[in-house]
A and B are shown apart, each in its own frame.
Chain A
C-alpha cells in the first residue's frame, strides 16, 4: 500500500449564493510534486486555495489531507496536518520582527504550555531554544538572516514575499500553497523566485502548489498545470500540452485572438 496522498480534492464545489465560484474541482498532489494552478483573473484560483486550506468549507465535495477528510476543520487544524499557505496580498505580522514572524509559525508544534512559560520550566526553555533554532534556519534558507531583527513592515517588498514563504515553511508542511508569490515583481525577480521555489521543493521534498497568472512563468518550473476559468477546470496536464490547448488559449487571450489567428492561418494557407 502506498503512502496517503499529501493533498487531495474531490469534486470540490464552492457556491456563494447564486454564484458558483468553483465547480467540481479535482486535484491530486503527489509527494514532492510542483503543480501550477493558473487561470485569468477571477477564475477561482484563490477560491480553490481557500477551500483547500479551510478558510472556506466546500459546498460540495471533499478535501483530504494525508488521506484524512478535513472539510469541517478550521484553517489552523489543516495547517497542523501539513498544508501551509501564503497570501496573494501579503499578510505578515507587520509590527513584529522577521524572526518573530517565523517563530510564530513554529508554534503549532510546541508542546509547552502557559504554565511552562510562567514558571520558566526546563521544558519551556528547550522548546523556545528549538523554535529559535528552527526559525533562524528558515530565515537563512530564504536569505533573510540579515533581516532577523527588523520589523517586517519595513522590509522591501520582495523580502516580505520571501519572509511569507519562510513563515509558511516553518509550519513544517507536506504541501506548500503559494498564492501568486511573484505578484508585483519584475521579470528578473520572478525568474529568481521560481528558481527559489524549485530549490525549496528539492531541499525539503515537499509538494508545492503555485497560483500564478503569468503562464510562461509557471511553465518553466511546474511539472503539471491546472487551468481554471470561471471556476471550471478547463485543462490539466504537462505544461507543453496545456499551452497548446485551444480552450486555454481562448480563456487567456479571448475569442478575438483566436479568430484573428484563424484568419491569419487561413490566409497563410491560401498563400500556399
Chain B
C-alpha cells in the first residue's frame, strides 16, 4: 500500500504531464511545434548545466560536446533501426520504443564521455576548468568532424523524425524533477557544500572530487538527451550544431536565470529561445538586440533573474498558492522552536 503510494509520488510529475503533453502534441501546428521543441531542449540543457555551474559551482564550458555525443549516438541507432519493426507491435509504436532506447543510449554515451572528461579535468577549478572543458568540447567535435562513420563535416542527415512534444515534454519533466530532487537530497547538499567552500566540504566528509565528477556525469547525460532530441527534430546532426558557441549560449541561460536556481534556468532558457525567435523579423539587428538584452539584464540584475532562489521560495508565490491551512501549520510548527529556544537560554542563565 505505502509502496504503491511511494511509487505514485515518484512518478507523479510524469503522470500529470503525459496527458497534457499528448493534447499539446495534437493541437500544436508544426512550425510552432519546432519552437516549443527548441525551448524544451534549451530548458534541458540549461537545467542540466546548472547542476555543474550552479549547484556545484564549477565552471564548465563543454556542454555542446556532450550534446554531440548524445545526438550522434541516438542518430546512429535510429537510422540503423529505422526499417526494423517489433513484430507484435504496429510500426509507429515500435519506432517509439526504439527511440526510447536511442535516447537512453544517448544519455549513457554522454555520461561515459562525462566520466572521461571529468576525471582528469575536475582536479582544476575556476577559469582553468572552464578552459579545459572548452578544450574537451572542441576535441569531441573535431573527432566527429574527422570520423567517416559519422559523416565528417556534413554530419548525418535524413534522420527519422522521432522527436515530438511528448518526448520533449517528458524529458523536460525528467530533467527538472532530477534537478529538484537532487537539490533537496543529501547528495545535492554535498554539491552545494563544494560550491560554498571546498576545503570545509572536504573536512566535513564530502568526497569533493567524487561529487564533482558525479555532478559532471549527470549533467553530461542530460546534455546527451537534449542533443538526441534536437537532432531528431531537425532530422540532422552536424558538428556545426555543437560548437562552443552553443555551450556559451547555455551558460548565458544559466547565468541569466540565476546560478543554482532551477526555476531561473527554465525561465531564462524559455525567454531567450522565444526572444531569438521573435527577433527573427529584425534580421541584421537580431544579435545586437539579443546582446543588448543580456547586457541590460546583467547590469540590472547581476545575480540573475532568480538569484539562487526558486519560484516556490518567493514571497509572492507563497502568498498566492499556500492555503490558509498550510500557513497555519507552518506557524504552529515555528512556535515549538521558540519555546525550545527560551528553555535553552533559561538553562544557560
Contact = CB atoms under 8 A, between A and B. Distances in A.
Chain A bound to chain B: yes
B189 A145 contact: no
A95 B186 CA distance: 16
Interface size class of B (residues with CB under 8 A): 35 or more
Of A95, A96, A104, most B-chain CB atoms within 10 Å:
A104
B188 A117 contact: yes
B205 A114 contact: no
Given A100-B192, A114-B218, A143-B344, A107 B206 contact: yes
A171 interface: yes
Interface string B326-345: 00000000000110110011
Contact of B9 (A84, A120, A128, A148): A120
B201 interface: yes
A140 interface: yes
Nearest to A170: B204
Contacts of B193: 93, 96, 104, 107
A87 B189 CA distance: 20
* Secondary structure dominating the interface of B: helix
A171 B348 contact: no
A174 B3 CA distance: 38
B27 interface: no
A42 B345 CA distance: 37
Contact of A140 (B181, B207, B344): B344
Contact of B182 (A84, A87, A117): A117
A100 B206 contact: no
B10 A120 contact: yes
B206 A108 contact: yes
Given A76-B202, A79-B203, A171-B204, A117 B344 contact: no
Interface residues of A, number: 48
B323 interface: no
B196 interface: yes
26 contacts: A74-B207, A75-B199, A76-B204, A80-B205, A87-B203, A91-B203, A92-B196, A92-B197, A92-B200, A93-B192, A96-B192, A96-B193, A104-B201, A104-B204, A107-B189, A107-B193, A108-B204, A114-B182, A116-B185, A118-B177, A122-B6, A128-B185, A128-B186, A140-B344, A145-B337, A145-B344
Interface of B: 3, 6, 9-10, 177-178, 181-182, 185-190, 192-193, 196-197, 199-208, 214, 218, 308, 337-338, 340-341, 344-345, 348
Given A55-B203, A76-B204, A118-B182, 8 more contacts: A75-B202, A79-B202, A93-B192, A96-B193, A107-B189, A114-B182, A114-B187, A122-B3
Interface of A: 53, 55, 74-76, 79-80, 84-85, 87, 91-96, 100, 103-108, 110, 112-114, 116-122, 124-125, 127-128, 131, 140, 143, 145-146, 148, 167-168, 171, 192
